[in-house]
Amino acid sequence: MHTTISRNNGDLFMENVALSDIAQQFGTPCYVYSKSAIELNYGAYVTALGDRPHLVCYAVKSNSNIAVLQTLAALGAGFDIVSVGELERVLMAGGDPSKVVFSGLGKTSGEMRRALEVGIHCFNVESESELVLLNKTASALSVKAPVSIRVNPDVNANTHPYISTGLKEDKFGIDINYAMTVYQNASLMDNIDVIGIDCHIGSQLTEVRPFVDAMNRLLILVDQLAELKITLNHIDIGGGLGVRYRDESIQSVDEYMRELLPLLAHRSETLVLEPGRSITANAGALLTQVQFIKSNEHKNFAIVDAAMNDMLRPSLYQAWMNIQPISHNAGVVEKEYDVVGPVCESGDFLGKDRKLKVKEGDHLCLFSAGSYGFVMSSNYNSRPRAPEIMVDGDNVFLVRQRETIQDLIRGEQLLPVNSSSNC
């Protein structure tokens, strides 16, 4: 997928803007996104799908900044959401609710109600209990809820176990062998309109074969349902197409579609996709500054001002992310460093055993940080969250301000001074 970071005379640029200038203007740590890369990555799906009836729903969980969502909404994108908070973000960004699919296995009645009120495309239902609650909620509003049943096809996606979602032992979806019964029950509910089938087998998939396996299993079920007069309008194959972080061999969107689309030849169902990482990961970077260099007989440490609360992926998933100095250091000796943050956890690292020419005060760039970066950040150790920046050609826009100490304590209350204990 597209990235717009390049070196010019030794300095890293995003589009036409030097990352060193962004670091100086906005401070570090900070997230930076390329508007052009987001547009190109989304466009790759639209182009590859051609005249196939389709709906590309960006997975909001991967990056929910409203400027990112606005960029995609302007291109006509749909959105895959997993909470009412994500729904409200989509609406604020100008997204079309009729192009929204609501995934997630713990939807509340209040969330269902709001989604029905604005008229989303469909709910991806994950359990019989959810189906019952949705039917009840829709009945109270005197409407029918459009439903797609999320089926668990028991396909091994060969990815990290924390982001595998399509095996029978995973918490997601309904066992494909039981799905027929659920569809039949759903079709008898007064306030449920069964319109599709959905699956999602995992994230950061580096090959197409698991998608093909899943699609073949879904199509068998779709045809069995048709024999029972349960006709589906769309097939949602989910997201999960991976990106290159290090040296992964990644199949392109074109290659993905060349293997997937022939399975749908002579079929009328709309193909729904839920890409996230493949649209925004390589469109973003995290900038940080080296505060201290620390060495002992075993290790060299580059202690930076970004931490696991800013970028959790290396700690949580043991994810490898490319780290490079923003500016070339010709006179600095290259050494092997662990790049670590100031949070009081041994797991607080951004990269280990990295060969870098770096000194105190230098700025570093973490590549491919546009997905599952800021959205997974926290205030652990009472650290304010980083700002987010959008680059558009020569222009730089602050799309989220850096949090302040006041932001950290918003909503908290001290006890009354004269309070007494009942103990």
**Per-residue confidence at 421, pLDDT binned at 50, 70, 90?**
low
**CATH hierarchy code of domain 35-279:** 3.20.20.10
Residue 273 contacts residue 199 (beta carbons within 8 Å)? no
Give residue-wise pLDDT tens across range 256-265. 999 999 999 9
Judge whether residue 352 has pLDDT over 90. Answer: yes
What b-and-e string marks burial along 28-45, b requiring 16 or more CB atoms within 10 Å of the CB?
Answer: bbbbbbbbbbbbbbbebb
Residue found under tokens 């993905």: 256
Residue found under tokens 């060349």: 258
DSSP 362: -
DSSP 105: S
Question: 8-17, 39-48, 247-256, 389-398: which range is least confident on average?
Answer: 247-256
Give residue-wise pLDDT tens across range 64-108. 999 999 999 999 999 999 999 999 999 999 999 999 999 999 999
DSSP 369: -
pLDDT score for 322: 96
Segment 171-178 shows an average pLDDT of 82
Residue 155 contacts residue 210 (beta carbons within 8 Å)? yes
Give residue-wise pLDDT tens across range 122-137. 999 999 999 999 999 9
H helix runs in 93-208, sequence order: 109-118, 128-141, 179-187
Judge whether residue 169 has pLDDT over 60. Answer: no
How do the domains of the chain map onto residue ranges? 5-32+281-409, 35-279
Alpha-carbon distance of 193 to 230, in angstroms, equals 10
Segment 226-253 shows an average pLDDT of 90
What contacts 280, CB < 8 A, 6 or more positions away? 33, 38, 41, 62, 63, 68, 370, 371
Judge whether residue 160 has pLDDT over 60. Answer: no
Cα-atom radius of gyration of the chain, to the nearest Å? 23
Catalytic residue from among 57, 122, 344, 365:
344
Judge whether residue 165 has pLDDT over 50. Answer: no
Judge whether residue 167 has pLDDT over 50. Answer: no
Token pair, residue 56, equals: 């590309």
Judge whether residue 159 has pLDDT over 50. Answer: no
pLDDT score for 209: 87
Judge whether residue 381 has pLDDT over 50. Answer: yes
Judge whether residue 3 has pLDDT over 80. Answer: no
pLDDT score for 205: 85
Judge whether residue 166 has pLDDT over 60. Answer: no
pLDDT score for 422: 58
Token pair, residue 237, equals: 């194959």
Q: Domain 5-32+281-409 class? A: mainly beta
Alpha-carbon distance of 329 to 337, in angstroms, equals 15
pLDDT score for 248: 79
pLDDT score for 390: 98
Give residue-wise pLDDT tens across range 290-343. 999 999 999 999 999 999 999 999 999 899 999 999 998 888 999 999 999 999
**By C-alpha distance, which of 315, 250, 317, 322 is closest to 286?**
322
Give residue-wise pLDDT tens across range 55-65. 999 999 999 99
Give residue-wise pLDDT tens across range 186-225. 999 999 999 999 998 887 888 888 889 889 999 999 999 9
pLDDT score for 161: 43
Give residue-wise pLDDT tens across range 13-67. 999 999 999 999 999 999 999 999 999 999 999 999 999 999 999 999 999 999 9
Judge whether residue 163 has pLDDT over 90. Answer: no
Residue 323 contacts residue 42 (beta carbons within 8 Å)? no
* Residue 30: active-site member: no
H helix runs in 197-296, sequence order: 209-227, 253-260, 277-280
Segment 413-423 shows an average pLDDT of 77
Q: Structure pTM?
A: 0.93
